[in-house]
Amino acid sequence: MPTVGGMSDDASVGTLPMTEVERERRLADTTAQMRTLIDNLGAAVLLEDDTRHVLVANDVFVDLFGLPGGTDDLVGTDSTASTHRIKGLFTDPEGFVTAADERVVQGFAIIGEQLSLVDGSTLERDYLPIVSADRPAGHLWVYRDITQHIAERQMLTDQNRSLAELAALKNEFVATVSHELRTPLTSVVSFADLLKDPAAGPLTPEQSTFLEVIDRNSQRLLRLIEDLLLVAKLESHTLPLSLGVVDLPDVVTQVVTELAPLARDRDVELTVSTASGPRLQGDWVRLQQVVSNVVGNAIGYTPPGGTVRVVAEVLPESRQWSVAVSDTGVGIPEDEIPHVFDAFFRASSAAGASGASGRGGTGLGLAISRLIVDEHHGRIAVESPPGLGTTVTVHLPYAAA
Return mean pLDDT, the chain.
85
Average pLDDT value for residue range 135-146:
92
Domain 243-397 sits in which CATH superfamily?
Histidine kinase-like ATPase, C-terminal domain (3.30.565.10)
Residue 25 has pLDDT above 80, yes or no: no
How do residues 200-222 score in pLDDT, each as one tens digit?
Answer: 788 888 888 888 888 888 888 88
Domain 38-145 has CATH 3.30.830.10: no
Closest CA to 274 of 247, 312, 323, 309: 312
Nearest CA to 31 out of 6, 11, 14, 56 is that of 56
CA nearest to 327, candidates 376, 263, 283, 280? 263
* Residue 245 vs residue 185, higher pLDDT: 245
pLDDT exceeds 50 at position 5? no
Query: pLDDT at position 134, please?
Result: 83
Query: Taking the CB of residue 208, how many other CB atoms lie within 10 A of it?
Result: 13
Phi then psi for residue 75, to 5 deg, are -60, 130
Q: Which residues contact 52 (CB under 8 A, 6 or more apart)?
A: 78, 79, 80, 104, 139
Considering only residues 187 and 260, tell me which one the structure prediction assigns the higher pLDDT: 260
Greater model confidence, 107 or 179: 107
Output the pLDDT for position 16: 55
Q: Does residue 300 contact residue 365 with C-beta atoms inside 8 Å?
A: no
Instruction: Give mean pLDDT, residues 108-135.
Output: 92
> DSSP for 6-34?
TEEHHHHHSPPPPPHHHHHHHHHHHHHHH
**Can you tell me the mean pLDDT for 41-56?**
89
Compute the average pLDDT of residues 59-75.
88
Which of 308, 307, 327 lies closest to 385, judged by CA? 327
Residue-wise pLDDT tens digits, 215-242:
888 888 888 888 888 888 887 787 888 8
Percent of the chain with pLDDT over 90: 45
Percent share of the chain, pLDDT over 70: 89
Confidence (pLDDT) at 352: 53
What's the pLDDT band for 356 if we cut at 50, 70, 90?
Answer: very low
pLDDT for res 304: 94
Q: What is the pLDDT of residue 3?
A: 42
Residue 351 has a pLDDT of 58
pLDDT at 7: 43
Domain residue ranges of the chain, discontinuous segments joined by +: 38-145, 165-235, 243-397
* Whether this model's pTM surpasses 0.75: no
In this structure, of 80-89, 185-194, 271-280, the range with the lowest mean pLDDT score is: 185-194
Indicate the SS3 state at residue 108: coil
The secondary structure of 52-65 as a DSSP string is: SBEEEE-HHHHHHH
Lowest mean pLDDT among 9-13, 33-37, 207-211: 9-13
Task: Please state the rounded mean pLDDT for residues 163-173.
Answer: 79
Task: With cut-offs at 50, 70 and 90, classify the pLDDT of residue 31.
Answer: low
Confidence of residue 401 (pLDDT cuts 50, 70, 90): very low
Average pLDDT, stretch 327-345? Answer: 85
Instruction: Give the integer Cα–Cα distance in Å for 144 and 129.
Output: 18
